[in-house]
Amino acid sequence: MSVSAQASSHLIDPGAEVNSRPRALIVLTIVTLILTAVGVVLWIAYAGVDVMQGNVQRIFYIHVSSFAGAFVALGGGVVGGFLYLWKRAPKWDHFALSCIEVGFGLSLINLFTGMVWARPIWNTWWTWDPRLTSAAIQTLTYAAYFMLRTGIENPDTRRRLASVYGILAFSTVVITFIIIRIRPDTIHPAVIGASPQNAEGGFELSSSMLATLSYTMIVWSVFVPMVLVWWRIRVENLNERVNALRAQILEK
């Protein structure tokens, strides 16, 4: 039993109900939906078309932005892990788990949109290029994080070990970000600064493209992760309440 005799008395009170009408969150969600829709319009109608690559180039707005979003979300996982190890309040682990789930999803989007772009431009769905390999490793690392969580029954142990691994796993995100500077033999084009020598499929950014990219990045690295993580945390809170209720009933 992970719960001491003293703490079990707290189980009698399953805590506050999870709010059914979270006003702020609903407003934020609607705002984010609108911003995302505007973004799609920008991608399709406003940003210019690339003459070399055609319409597939437009995917790069979501491809780059989803990585930025993943970076932010997975970074949140580090913060949550660190805070849990420090404060030991379960809410920090809920925060970390939610962040990492969202970040994992955004990493997947990053990988898939990259593959869809690569097919017409590089004539292959995949290649073992340093940046692609790092991105794949990043995604697999967080898959391992979920496997770790599933493999531990004791909730305190699970939160503790997951926090440590969540912190370690972020190194793969950092590597993906900086590898383009360390391994100049990558064929992946760079957006900020000069592309590596071997880069294939780089393109000049017109001002409308730059504006669209900046806009999309802000929406997908601030608004979208925040909204998703917030909703996800609510599910964890409700889960806690249900478990507490269940325990309370079993005690009777």
Give contact residues for other proteins (rule: CB under 8 A): 40, 49, 51-59, 62-63, 66, 85, 101-102, 105, 108-109, 112-113, 116-117, 119-120, 134, 137-138, 140-141, 144, 147-148, 151-153, 157, 160-161, 163-165, 167-169, 171-172, 175, 228, 231-232, 234-235, 238-239, 241-242, 245-246, 248-249
Residue 88 or 210 having the CB closest to other proteins: 88
Q: How far is the CB of 163 from other proteins (least distance, A)?
A: 7
CA separation for the pair 76, 87 (Å, rounded) = 16
Q: How far is the CB of 79 from other proteins (least distance, A)?
A: 16
Q: How far is the CB of 165 from other proteins (least distance, A)?
A: 6
Say if CB 86 and CB 164 are below 8 A apart. Answer: no
64 in the Ramachandran plot: left (φ > 0), alpha (ψ -120 to 50) or beta?
alpha
Element (H, E) at 190: none
Q: How far is the CB of 147 from other proteins (least distance, A)?
A: 6
What's 52-99 look like in SS3? CCEHHHHHHHHHHHHHHHHHHHHHHHHHHHHHHHHHCCHHHHHHHHHH
Residue 63 or 188 having the CB closest to other proteins: 63
